[in-house]
Structure 1
């Protein structure tokens, strides 16, 4: 058998029946069972009268029929012998594989086993009324102690279909990203529902941005899209201004949609702060509603010499 760096071929195992006593166990097996676990496995097999999960065995032209190598299920095979089974069902790989491929298959069967969601596991276990079936489940004392502390939730990770998306930011974008995620935490209990058309439009916009800027990183493309949006903040006025120039609703909107920018020069900010503090001190506007002073000043500017400026307590 020659070791190569080529990936494992697409083999097609077939179901066969074998005497578990004559199969060839692995010389080196990283997976081990404690004695009480192995004894429980033997008892379960004896109770079932068969193996309910199938070992994976390999011939590859190197092992005679009935003496194939057990790639996965060594303990199940040994337990079936202890339980007195004369034959067991096995999945047989006949294609020739390299030693590297055989080891990789063995390790993958041991390592890729998934995890139990505690809340779901507790719900299932509590449906077992019979003491013997609870013992059959094979849950250890430490697992049962943890289950007693679990408070089942309405949703758990085990019952959700999800995908993992990774965003990678360049060093000069990292601080902006942190600020964005910190802001997102403020709305962590809120949910938004988007139409499929919006999702497709987002993908199309990302594709266009990738092509225009010749970038392949999604985060960089999003940064470019956000930069364009920042330059057009004043266009968000369309969301709350009707065609005839009247407000569409009475909710609050971002000041940046009015000024067209998120910032203003520090001297201007100091002047506005002083004016707002003075108006609040005189009782002309409610404390914490400095925007009312800006609205009054704008109203006076628009009223001209023949119009009466609106009072703040009549303002929308």
Structure 2
């Protein structure tokens, strides 16, 4: 399918306003670029309404707790990890993404502000993810109330969600991975196919890796950074959503295929015409809004099946 025309126009607009790419600006400027795109552009009347939102702390990290507007009895609790290449993104940049998920699934969500590179290079974020999911799992009765613990994340956050699920497979009941990074050091055809022109470029992913791995040198097939190489047997049912025009497409789909081969129930979907980041592009593209709703419906269906 052709690239969604609304997203094509969005790409042109973002590139024009961004100016220099992230690898040519300071880390604070790069983070400010993302906030300008995802936070400053949100009008008060467009904020998705949920039952309650509370800023708190989870396992020593900043967190935001979202409760659905209505709940008939106990509901699942979902830990959410934001994207941003492990070096930017925060509770605010993904506030709307999580609000939509809360509205569409009826679950309690705990969004986490994990440590970022380069101040805290790998494996800091991965360690945070495991620690946070364990902490939340010990407190389900006071959070969502049901015994269902799930994880979710997009992009770098999808990577962390997958890592935490592998580490805590006996405790996690479901996971949602949206255009996840699953093989950080391996070659995939989509990196060549969509290397430029779709916001997340191959050059940007190389820069991201240089920041994330600026501390300890990683082994090529370490599941603590590339969950594709982990033990996948016995993992919980999973929704994996990818975007057609995305450098991360093939590794996300490879992870879905590997999960399925390991006997895991997988609901995998490639969204045609979409680019990386479509979860937060519905305000410029009705097709992206529809794709986001589809992702949320699939996860809602999965949670309902195990509740």
**What TM-score range do you get, normalising by the shorter chain?**
under 0.3
TM-score, normalization by structure 1: 0.19
**Larger radius of gyration between Structure 1 and Structure 2:** 1
Of Structure 1 and Structure 2, the greater helix share is in 1
TM-score, normalization by structure 2: 0.19
Of Structure 1 and Structure 2, the greater strand share is in 2
Greater RCO, CA 8 A, separation 6+: 2
